[in-house]
Amino acid sequence: MSETVIRVGRSAPVLRSFADYLDGEQALVQRVELEIVETVRGPELVIRPPEAPEVRWPLDDIRVVPDQAGKDVLMLRLADDPVSRLLVSDEEARAIIRARCPNLHQRPPVKKRARLLAWSLGAVASVGLIIFVLVPLLSDRLAVFLPPEGEKALGDVTFEQIRTALSDNEFLPVAVCQGRSGDRALAVMQARLQGKLDLPYPVSLSVLDHKMVNAFTLPGGRVILFRGLIDAAETPDEVAAVLAHEVGHVVNRDPTRSALRSAGSIGVLGLLFGDFAGGTVVLFLLNRLIDATYSQDAEAAADAFAHQALADAGVPPSALATMFERLLEKGGDADGIVAHFQAHPKLGDRIRAARQADRLLEAPASPVLNDVQWKALQGICR
Amino acid sequence: MASVLETEYVGRRRPLFRLALVSSLLTVLTLGIYRFWMKTRLRRFYWSSIRPGGQPLEYVGEPMEKLLGFLIAVVFLAFYIGIVNLLLMFVSFSFFNTNLWAYALSFVGIVPIIFYARYRARRYILARTRWRGIRFGMDQGAWSYAWRALVHWLVTILSLGLLWPRMTFWLEKYRTDRTWFGSEKMQQGGRWQMLYRPYLVFLAGLVTVAIGGVVTFQGNVVAGGGLIVFGVLLTGYGLVHYRVHAFRLMTNTKNIGGIGFRSRPRPWRVLRVYSMGYGLAVLAIVALLTGLGVLFYMAILGGQPVGEDVDLTLIGDNVPWWVNTVFAMVTYFSLFILWGVLTHVLVTLPLARHYAETLEITAPAGLSGIKQRHRDDMEHAEGFAEALDVGAAI
């Protein structure tokens, strides 16, 4: 009596076909016969080369090689065999293999996981060390040694870049305001504040015809006030307070340090992000973020300098607080993510500190400009 | 076996478009990390499109090894780029009162590393390329290559470009003579002088521009201007002419264990791919910008016509800042993604197809003797090239 194997359910499709086989040892393409057989270990694909012993691939271990351009060929490999390949072009055979191999699209496990992790940490540590420790340390040390002419050149280059960047018209940089009587009023204010201060180089002060309520300092003692700031101020003392703060940056050489720092850190960031979608915007934002974290201390130091300088000049330091309050009304304090992109620490704290600084005043305060001079300053851009 | 193996090209634009689009989107969304996967997947596609003798090339590089190589390169290069750039900026402003010297010196310092990285990238790519199941490979020699490349460039510059073909030949020979297919080593034959004839068109273009300059200077502006325009066009064509024929001549004089090559790419065809491809890509970008502009205009002004009562400087003032930011980001990234995807579909693929379809392998009987070679581990992968952005075109 002969034994009969009785299958339950739909019978599996029979595969009998031919394919190209690459054994990964010689540069020969072997035309092989394919067959799927059922064994006790599970179904297997039998590959029979014409002149070599047959090879058996368990269906569970067969993988398809991904992202192939030609859809007329199915390229198969064995999970743990890096070299041999089977190229099936017969349409029916491809359909059967797709239907019967359950793990065709399983990805190979990640090799060298530990090394990958170690070098990731290494890269993060090295970039962090360079951007947050070495570059700031080095630029703080070097800024002092940069000759004043070099610093001036650095400031001039940046000044022109900023004038162009702020303008709506690429060919027409934002105008520098020069009203004779206005300039004279500025000079009076500057002389009163500077007094007998020991500055690395003279402060050169300009007003830009732009509506922004802001002021900034560039390397080489170049301080820039925006027209918007003068318009927003209600007394000359408030403008003087901002000026004193900026002179604080000059004394501490903050802009020079910051310029050297971005020379170092922007290159490293570029290295990290590569040509990812051009990357320029991302680089710019990241550099702002890093710069902002450096500058929190610099801002606090410039405030402290301003408090003392204002008190020495007989101007109440609380004028700075008044100016900050106007800023708050105008834009509101920035919280969360936005705060990180702004160089200035929380305004509330700085307002409190400026109010308390009024006790530094030794003589009674007097306005920094008289009414005529103040009018002249307000009209400097007209 | 047939006496000549022809090369088939099976890559099509539509699947490449989909692959490039999806992977660039993922690259942007992952802040650039997916770029290692993108590169790998695109290479798998491009490699498998090329079928010399009906058998596809296979690219077996892994994204993870690229990431690892990149991380290793970052550890070393971050120090160099951060500290050295800072010092150069300092020195440049201290002594020259300008930052130009810093940029120039920084570039000179990085040049040898760029050549080094190029050789390493080629070695990595060859080590991860297979045909008929057999690995390609390349011997070590990146520093030696960087040194030679520096000297060749110096000689080329000193000769005012006249010795450019000599550099092309010797650098390609250096790379080819270290290339393996399985157990067989490749050899570069020929002489550098053979590249000179195709180079003459380029030189003629330069000479025409110079003559045009002289004629203009002497007062005949119309004739001089005409000569300059003609000369610039001729120089542009001459560059393509030289590169295509140099590739052809260098390929035809390569051999690997008696197996040879016959390549017949056509400069006009390559020029057409470049001009049509980039032209269409620019058109698409302009169309996208116009579309986005109309969209923005509709959203902000509600479609009302721009009359005299609308103050253009106030546009944007009544829109929350984040709307502007998001809109700017979306525009920026869609432009870059679109440009990248279109250059793949309209330039890289047609170029690859042309070079593949005009390539034949002669005397392929020698293939039967070729055996497998060991795997080149190359832990650094193409990390330096990736970090410095000087990798292969793909």
Element housing A19 (H / E): strand A16-22
* pLDDT tens track for B342-384: 999 999 999 999 999 999 999 888 898 899 988 877 766 676 6
- Chain B residues 223-242 within an 8 A CB cutoff of chain A: none
Please tell me the distance from the alpha carbon of residue A264 to that of residue B82, in angstroms, as a whole number. Answer: 4
| Cβ–Cβ below 8 Å for A127 and B78 | yes
Is B51 an 8 Å CB contact of chain A?
A: yes
- A-chain CB neighbours of B87 within 8 Å are 138, 142
- Judged by a CB distance cut-off of 8 A, whether residue B292 touches chain A is no
Scored b (16 or more CB within 10 A) or e, B363-378 reads bbebbeebebbeebeb
- Side chain identity at B240, as an amino acid letter? V
Residue A126 · residue B74 · CB < 8 Å = yes
Could you give the CA distance from residue B210 to residue B232 in angstroms, rounded to a whole number? 10
Give the angle subtended at the CA of B169 by the CAs of B167 and B170, to the nearest 5°. Answer: 70
Which helix (H) or strand (E) element contains residue B362? strand B359-362
φ/ψ (deg, to 5) at A167: -80, 150
Q: Which residue has the tokens 């076909």?
A: A17
Q: Which of B74, B131, B330, B332 to mutate to test the interface with A (most CBs of A within 10 A)?
A: B74
With beta carbons less than 8 A apart as the criterion, state whether B361 and B261 touch.
yes
Per-residue pLDDT reduced to its tens digit, B190-232? 999 999 999 999 999 999 999 999 999 998 889 999 999 999 9
Q: Which of A83, A130, A282 sits opposite B83 (nearest CB)?
A: A130
Q: Answer yes or no: are the C-beta atoms of A34 and A19 closer than 8 Å.
A: yes
Poorest-confidence range of A43-52, B70-79, B141-150, B354-363?
B70-79
* Confidence at residue B97, expressed as pLDDT on a 0 to 100 scale: 66
Residue A19 has pLDDT above 80, yes or no: yes
pLDDT at site B175? 96
**pLDDT for the residue numbered B392:** 42
Cross-strand partners of A275? none
Q: Rounded to an integer, what distance in angstroms lies between the CA atom of residue A217 and that of residue A338?
A: 22
Contact list in A for residue B78 (CB cut-off 8 A) is 123, 126-127, 130, 268, 271-272
Q: How far apart are CA B235 and CA B29, in angstroms?
A: 41
Does residue A251 carry a pLDDT above 60? yes
ipTM of the complex: 0.83
For chain B, say whether A154 makes contact (Cβ under 8 Å).
Answer: yes
- Which residue is associated with the tokens 């080629």? B122
Q: How many C-beta atoms surround the C-beta of residue A9 within 10 A?
A: 5
Say how far apart CA B158 and CA B103 lie, in whole Å: 22
Closest residue, chain B, to A122 (C-alpha): B75
pLDDT digit string, tens, across residues A343-374: 555 777 888 888 888 888 887 778 888 889 99
Question: Across the interface, which of A147, A259, A279 has its CB nearest the CB of B94?
Answer: A147
For residue A265, give both structure tokens: 């850190």
Token pair in block for residue B131: 């045909």
Q: Please tell me the distance from the alpha carbon of residue B318 to that of residue B286, in angstroms, as a whole number.
A: 27
CB A32 within 8 A of CB A48: yes
| pLDDT per residue as tens digits for the range B30-47 | 888 898 999 999 999 999
Mean pLDDT, to the nearest integer, of B276-297? 89
Please list, in sequence order, all residues whose beta carbon lies within 8 angstroms of the beta carbon of residue A160, skipping any fewer than 6 positions away: A173
- Strand order, beta sheet including B254-256: B50-52, B4-9, B359-362, B259-263, B254-256, B184-188, B179-181, B134-138, B129-131, B57-59
Q: For residue B388, which amino acid is it?
A: L
What is the model's pLDDT at position A338? 46
Tokens at residue B1, please? 């076996």
Which band of pLDDT confidence, cut at 50, 70 and 90, is reported for residue A289? Answer: low
Question: Please, what is the Cα angle at A146 between A145 and A151, to 5 degrees?
Answer: 150
Closest chain A C-alpha to B230 CA, distance in angstroms:
31
* Average pLDDT over every residue of A167-176: 74
Most confident of the ranges A270-274, A339-343, B268-272: B268-272
Q: Is B94 on the interface with A (CB under 8 A)?
A: yes
Average pLDDT over every residue of B175-185: 95
Asked if the model's pLDDT at residue B311 lies above 60, the reply is: no
Domain boundaries, chain A: 16-100, 133-378
And the tokens for A335? Answer: 């919280």
Please say whether the beta carbons of B355 and B250 come within 8 A.
Answer: no
DSSP codes, B1-13: --SEEEEEE---H
> If contacts are CB pairs under 8 Å, which of residues 92-111 in chain A contact chain B?
110-111
Q: Which member of A25, A66, A123 has the closest CB to residue B74?
A: A123
**pLDDT tens-digit profile of B249-272?**
999 999 998 999 999 999 999 999
Residues B231/B339, Cβ–Cβ less than 8 Å? no
Amino acid at B346: L
CATH 2.30.29.180 given to domain A16-100: yes
